[in-house]
Structure 1
């Protein structure tokens, strides 16, 4: 994924390149550990199945992290994140591939910077919506 190098390249309609992450059982266990989330539904497959799910669930905050990583990878090191949010709308389980897509929906110039609003979606490999989101990113204005 190539990052934005010049803020003037950011215009409404620009699509973010797809950002992909495989939700492995190891990744889910580690994310639970670093976030102090001890709920068995994220690491115990038998327990998750007893609750009616096909496998362990991707954590709600991991959906947010995947969306945010997509934005930051696209925006590049000169960008400043101004706002970010998402809603969990569907589940994902171990083994699913999460794919984030997005689009620039608005751009405005502000003193010394260029500010873009983004619309985001995270879907699984079946195309099911897991988490819609939004972000606002700013870059220093060009010379």
Structure 2
């Protein structure tokens, strides 16, 4: 059970500890089934390479969701996230092995807003590259 984060206990600069989320090709196949996005660049290395990609890449929305997990886990309530936006800056390349890759996400409270809300800036990396540009969430705290 996640502890409830209280607005009064959070200051600008409060860091959300880094978390790593594994990504394997099997995860992408499962995501394709759930989302209906069966684009072959997300599961076929041959097709991904034929269009100039280094290998299979994770779905952008899958990557966004993994970064969002940091916020929902921290807040203790997915319904506390009022806004969430990102720009995709680099693909998450997923090798064809049992290990796959990881998306590593951290965050920091950038602003305290009214109505017990905070703005959180995230950093998401995979393979040494930032994979999301300007990921930001507005979260209502207890």
TM-score norm. by structure 2 comes to 0.87
DSSP 3-state at the match of 1:62: helix
Superposition CA RMSD, Å: 1.9
Superposed CA offset, 1:16-69 (max 9, x none): 111211110000111111100121000111111222222211101011101211
Match of 2:126 among 120, 124, 127: 124
Taking the aligned partners of 2:74 and 2:5, their CA distance within structure 1 comes to 10
Superposed CA offset, 1:93-116 (max 9, x none): 112211111110111342xxx110
Unaligned runs of 5+ in 1: none
Taking the aligned partners of 2:4 and 2:15, their CA distance within structure 1 comes to 12
Contact 1:99–1:125 (CA under 8 A) maintained in structure 2: no
What pairs up with 1:20-35 in 2 under 5 angstroms?
20-35=20-35
Q: In the alignment, does 2:88 pair up with 1:88?
A: yes
TM-score norm. by structure 1 comes to 0.86
For residues 78 and 97 of structure 1, do their structure 2 counterparts lie closer, same or farther at Cα, with a shift above 3 Å needed?
closer
Q: How many residues align?
A: 136
